[in-house]
């Protein structure tokens, strides 16, 4: 079946530290990959996406590269801020034109000043 596995949390870092949140996937086809973020008290929102191998998604200083050979889509940021504290979800979809997402379990990130 299709599944997403994320790095277990919670993750706690100091401001300006380098962030990596690992995400690997299993898919029967050729998925599109996403990172969603949920800030405290808000709904999930799309952070970035990649639709084919070697694509790099980026937004707000975050990046993730679609690696087909390792079935991975790790999230990175060079220098985190306190405002990046949130829960991060990796997800995939196989159905173009539909919105049936398969999510990882989420990784809670806390950034200390």
Partner 1 sequence: NAGVMQNPRHLVRRRGQEARLRCSPMKGHSHVYWYRQLPEEGLKFMVYLQKENIIDESGMPKERFSAEFPKEGPSILRIQQVVRGDSAAYFCASSPTTGVIPGELFFGEGSRLTVL
Positions touching partner 1 (CB under 8 A) are: 4, 6, 32, 34, 36, 38, 41-46, 49, 51, 89, 91, 93, 96-106
Q: Taking the complex as a whole, how short is the minimal distance between the CB of residue 105 and partner 1, in angstroms?
A: 4
CB closer to partner 1, 45 vs 83: 45
Residue 97 or 113 having the CB closest to partner 1? 97
CB count in 10 Å sphere of residue 18: 10
* Nearest-angstrom CA–CA distance, 100 and 67: 21
- For residue 75, the minimal CB distance to partner 1 (Å) is 15
Of the CA atoms within 13 Å of residue 108, those in its CB half-sphere come to 4
Q: Helix, strand or coil for residue 16?
A: coil
Comparison of 17 and 68: residue with beta carbon closer to partner 1:
68
Nearest distance, CB of residue 6 and partner 1, angstroms: 8
Nearest distance in Å: CB 21, partner 1: 14
Instruction: Give the whole-angstrom CA distance, residue 12 versus residue 28.
Output: 34
Q: Which residue has the tokens 């990796």?
A: 90
**Three-state DSSP class for 68?**
coil
Query: Is the CB of 45 or the CB of 112 nearer to partner 1?
Result: 45
Which pair of tokens denotes residue 11? 């993750």
């Amino acid at each position: 079946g299709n599944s997403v596995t994320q790095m277990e949390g919670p993750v706690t870092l100091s401001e300006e530290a380098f962030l990596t949140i690992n995400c690997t996937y299993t898919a029967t086809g050729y998925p599109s990959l996403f990172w969603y973020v949920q800030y405290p008290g808000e709904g999930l929102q799309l952070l970035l996406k990649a639709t084919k191998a070697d694509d790099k998604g980026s937004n707000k200083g975050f990046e993730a590269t679609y690696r087909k050979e390792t079935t991975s889509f790790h999230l990175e940021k060079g220098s985190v801020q306190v405002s990046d504290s949130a829960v991060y979800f990796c997800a995939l979809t196989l159905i173009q034109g539909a919105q049936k997402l398969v999510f990882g379990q989420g990784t809670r990130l806390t950034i200390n000043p």
